[in-house]
Amino acid sequence: MHRTRDGHEYYVFVGGGLEENESPETAVVREAVEETTLTVKPLRLLYENDGIDNQHQYYYLCEIISGEAKLNPAGEEFGFQNETNTYKPVWVDIAELHNLPVLPVEIRDRLVEDIRNNKI
């Protein structure tokens, strides 16, 4: 997700918090639809990380089942947009990933290294 927020430009992975009694795999599917309209199938867990406020985060490799990568008009991100705060689902060239301001940086760097070493 390409973001601008108060003059800062960066990228984040699609995601969000777990709802009550929700598995990480179910959350991945729900968040993808809510944020991008994409229906995905989680293939495998790639990384775990403690993020902001020590919220445990899961990063999955997913297969796209259907949909088009666009901001979901029914999602909360759509309503949060204004002149200083934007969300835009984008595809990036994987070869350029290391040059982009992707957050969290440590997950970006692990992903770049795993792709470079053919682990993904």
What is the pTM (predicted TM-score) of this model?
0.90
CB 60 within 8 A of CB 24: yes
- In tens, the pLDDT along 65-99 reads 999 999 999 988 888 889 899 999 999 999 999 99
DSSP symbol at 82: B
What is the band of 105 on the pLDDT scale with cuts at 50, 70, 90?
A: very high
- In tens, the pLDDT along 14-58 reads 998 899 999 999 999 999 999 999 999 999 999 999 987 788 999
The helices-and-strands tally (H runs, E runs) of the chain is: 3, 6
Question: In this structure, which amino acid lies at residue 95?
Answer: A
Q: Which of 5, 8, 11 is nearest to 107 (CA)?
A: 11
CB 14 within 8 A of CB 1: yes
Q: What is the pLDDT of residue 54?
A: 81
Q: What is the CATH number of domain 2-93?
A: 3.90.79.10
Q: Which of 37, 52, 62 is nearest to 106 (CA)?
A: 52
User: CA-CA distance, 58 to 69, in Å (whole number)?
Assistant: 21
Q: What is the pLDDT of residue 20?
A: 95
Task: Please name the residue that has the structure tokens 């984040």.
Answer: 12
Q: What is the pLDDT of residue 32?
A: 97
Q: What is the pLDDT of residue 76?
A: 87
User: CA-CA distance, 43 to 53, in Å (whole number)?
Assistant: 27
